[in-house]
């Protein structure tokens, strides 16, 4: 990996007006991650660490960019950006503890290597899915624009990551909104073992900037002065004229994707060519030739850094293996939220379900001036269901933002907004479309607080449900996808009063909430609703009817199907409206079941894998001795949702519910 002699300098370095002190600083900042890596490779062979992603040969990029950005500006690094962490001066013992899964790291042993972030150093941790990082950076940059703080942020990916759809979505959003993001592609030749010619067909990845209407540059990634000087000019310009810039850094990965992968697939002559371009040794040779460095200074710097490394390792190795308790683990899934009841005044008015949501959303936007709502067609058009009609006039286009059709990037952007201190509300145009944003919901929003103590202050509104003749792609009620994911709260109201109060609480809550709104209820259900702002607690079911013979447990449209059946029959039953599915009010469920001894669980979703199955299991495990009959579940057919009205009616469980209820009461 080294050049033949220190006199052999591959690059023509142009120091411009940089002082000797700046050059020395850049050299020391590159030397530090290089020496850390060399030590880590030894420890890996000794079995003292378990895994390593090497950035040897790419130090100039991480160090150059981190040296340009101010410490308060966010950086979103990847596997090979150790220089970002060291340039931000994270104490080495904390880095080493992180890599060993110990408590002094940043994830309490819950995630590994570079999969962490820290608000203390304004670094945002990556996830293995790579692509969402670009969308998160767009959200952070949007927050910077809204704050008008003249800050930029920088986000990294490799050339392999650019094949992901999330990357394209985020670049497009950043271009449309002119967000001050430095999108940094480290083109290092291989995505694991896949060479660039199998990743893309364009000559340079920077050429893609033209398609997004985005400024782009190609930079020699192994020349630290070129990186530092060009990025300095670009960033200074971006602070004055906010816009996204796409940077392609030409570099090479001198070791495997991770050490276990090896580099046998790389031609030897290619390794030799890039070894001559070693960013550390070339810059060192240049500084020696200019008389800025001496062999004595080099030896001194290396000794100082090695001493720092060894001291940090001593601390990390001496630290006890991390321990935790079940309650510690469960308590860290969500950021603590202490519900504050806001009571309503006596004045009410009759509102449709859709109007209650609109009013609750508007009053929350008034209450929280850091709240931003995003979605397709939600601005002047008011959304496909007109819930945000008039919001642009009330709050402006900065806070009520039409988005391109790119659910994944917008979900990721909500995460970025939360990191930057905002409350983010996203309208998923239809709940069915959440599949296009599924990855950042379940892998970023849901896991972030548990991983590195970063909450996702996000509400995703989910218009859902059948009964309106919308067919397979606009009718799903897919709440079970999210109740299965630790880290998400799931709310599913059935009445205007509940919808308004629960939405207010969901927005107050600093954790990610999936808020389901049944489309068939939007304009069919009316109720007296307080005119002012109020909240209702999450995780509390509502007992709508009381009886002794049976318990009906349901939510959403199922509540109204049950009410209609009960109005036509003189049954003595408890009707429990869950209202929120996660957290689930198990106390209310068990209390009712122990009283009646019979249970019927009704859901609109198809049967297998639905929430009714879990509720049934919970009742069996906790109330078995109180049961006088088998637990019965009623759900929609195991088919996609059909369009024609008679087919849809047969798909939905309403008729089967009435029959099953009569059978169970007679058991």
- The answer to whether 566 and 665 are in contact (CB under 8 A) is no
Rg (C-alpha) for the chain, rounded Å, is 29
Q: Dump the DSSP string for 486-523.
A: TT-EEE---SHHHHHHHHHHHHHSSS-EEEEEEHHHHT
Give phi and psi for 161, each to the nearest 5: -65, -25
Report the C-alpha gap between 142 and 419 in whole angstroms.
Answer: 11
Is the preceding peptide bond at 613 cis, omega within 30 degrees of 0? no
Active site residue: 93, 115, 474, 518, which one?
Answer: 474
Token representation of residue 590: 């068990």
| Helix residue ranges, H only, 111-223 | 132-147, 165-177, 208-211
Report the C-alpha gap between 495 and 517 in whole angstroms.
Answer: 10
Q: Residue 474 catalytic? A: yes
Residue whose token pair is 């519900």: 339
Token representation of residue 506: 């969901």
Instruction: Say which residues have a Cβ less than 8 Å from residue 155's Cβ, sequence separation at least 6.
Output: 75, 76, 133, 134, 136, 137, 181, 182, 183, 184
| Segments of 323-403 assigned E as strands | 348-352, 371-375, 400-402
Residues paired with residue 424 on neighbouring β-strands, in sequence order: 372, 458
CA separation (Å) from 256 to 102, 251, 266, 482, 582? 26, 14, 9, 36, 42
Q: Are strands 489-491 and 513-518 parallel, antiparallel or unpaired?
A: parallel
Neighbours of 640 (CB within 10 A): 13
Residue whose token pair is 């999108």: 183
- The answer to whether 138 and 246 are in contact (CB under 8 A) is no
Pick the closest to residue 103 from 287, 305, 316 (CA basis). Answer: 316
| Segments of 83-233 assigned E as strands | 153-158, 181-187, 190-191, 194-195, 215-220
- The answer to whether 512 and 456 are in contact (CB under 8 A) is yes
CA separation (Å) from 38 to 34, 131, 255? 6, 29, 12
Q: SS3 letters for 315-336?
A: HHHHCCCCCCCHHHHHHCCCCC
CA separation (Å) from 220 to 12, 160, 223, 551? 11, 18, 6, 69
Q: Which helix (H) or strand (E) holds 462?
A: strand 458-464
Catalytic positions are 474
């Amino acid at each position: 990996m080294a050049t033949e002699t220190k006199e052999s300098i591959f690059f023509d370095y142009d120091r411009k007006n940089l002082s000797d002190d700046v050059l020395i600083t850049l050299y020391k900042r590159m030397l530090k991650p290089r020496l850390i890596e060399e030590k880590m490779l030894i420890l890996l062979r000794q079995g003292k660490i378990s895994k390593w992603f090497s950035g040897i040969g790419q130090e100039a990029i991480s160090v150059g960019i981190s040296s340009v950005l101010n410490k308060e500006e966010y950086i979103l690094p990847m596997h090979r950006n150790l220089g970002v962490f060291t340039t931000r001066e994270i104490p080495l013992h904390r880095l080493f503890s992180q890599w060993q899964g110990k408590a002094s790291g940043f994830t309490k042993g819950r995630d590994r290597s570079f999969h962490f972030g820290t608000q203390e150093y304004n670094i945002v941790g990556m996830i293995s899915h790579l692509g969402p990082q670009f969308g998160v950076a767009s959200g952070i940059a949007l927050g910077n624009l809204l704050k008008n703080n003249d800050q930029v942020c920088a986000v990294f990916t490799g050339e392999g990551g650019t094949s992901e759809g999330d990357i394209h979505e985020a670049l497009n959003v950043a271009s449309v909104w002119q967000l001050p993001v430095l999108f940094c592609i480290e083109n290092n030749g291989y995505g694991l073992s896949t060479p660039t010619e199998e990743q893309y067909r364009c000559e340079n990845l920077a050429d893609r900037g033209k398609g997004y209407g985005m400024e782009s540059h190609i930079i020699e990634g192994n020349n630290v002065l070129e990186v530092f000087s060009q990025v300095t000019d670009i960033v200074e310009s971006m602070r004055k004229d906010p816009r996204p810039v796409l940077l392609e850094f030409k570099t090479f990965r001198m070791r495997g994707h991770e050490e276990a992968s090896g580099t046998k697939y790389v031609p030897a002559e290619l390794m030799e060519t890039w070894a001559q371009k070693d960013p550390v040794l070339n810059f060192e040779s240049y500084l020696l030739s200019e008389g800025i460095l001496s062999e004595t200074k080099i030896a001194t710097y290396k000794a100082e850094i090695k001493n720092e490394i060894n001291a940090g390792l001593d601390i990390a190795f001496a630290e006890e293996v991390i321990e935790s308790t079940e309650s510690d683990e469960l308590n860290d899934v969500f950021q603590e939220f202490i519900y504050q009841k806001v009571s309503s005044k006596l004045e009410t008015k009759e509102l449709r379900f859709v109007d209650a949501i609109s009013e609750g959303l508007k009053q929350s936007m008034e209450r929280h001036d850091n709240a931003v709502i995003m979605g397709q067609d939600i601005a002047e058009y008011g959304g496909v269901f007109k819930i945000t009609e008039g919001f642009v006039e009330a709050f402006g286009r900065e806070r009520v933002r039409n988005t391109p059709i790119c659910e994944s990037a917008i979900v990721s952007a909500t995460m970025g907004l939360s990191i930057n201190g905002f409350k983010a509300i996203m309208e998923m145009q239809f709940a069915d479309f959440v599949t296009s944003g599924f990855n950042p919901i379940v892998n970023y929003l849901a896991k972030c607080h548990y991983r590195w103590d970063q909450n996702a202050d996000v509400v995703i509104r989910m218009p859902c449900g059948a009964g309106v003749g919308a067919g397979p792609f606009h009718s799903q009620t897919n709440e079970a996808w999210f109740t299965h994911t630790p880290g998400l709260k799931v709310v599913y109201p059935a009445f205007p009063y509940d919808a308004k109060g629960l939405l207010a609480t969901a927005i107050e809550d600093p954790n990610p909430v999936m808020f389901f709104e049944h489309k068939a209820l939007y304009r069919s259900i009316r109720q007296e609703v307080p005119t002012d702002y109020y909240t209702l607690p999450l995780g509390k079911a509502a007992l709508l009817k009381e009886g002794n013979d049976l318990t009906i447990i349901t939510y959403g449209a199922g509540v109204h199907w049950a009410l209609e059946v009960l109005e036509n029959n003189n049954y003595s039953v408890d009707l429990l409206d869950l209202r929120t599915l996660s957290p689930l009010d198990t106390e209310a469920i068990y209390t009712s079941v122990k009283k009646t001894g019979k249970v019927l669980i009704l859901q609109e979703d198809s049967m297998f894998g639905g929430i009714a199955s879990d509720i049934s299991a919970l009742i069996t495990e906790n109330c078995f001795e109180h049961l006088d009959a088998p637990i019965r579940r009623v759900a929609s057919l195991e088919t996609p949702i059909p369009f024609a009205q008679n087919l849809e009616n047969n798909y939905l469980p309403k008729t089967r519910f009435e029959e099953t209820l009569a059978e169970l009461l007679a058991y």
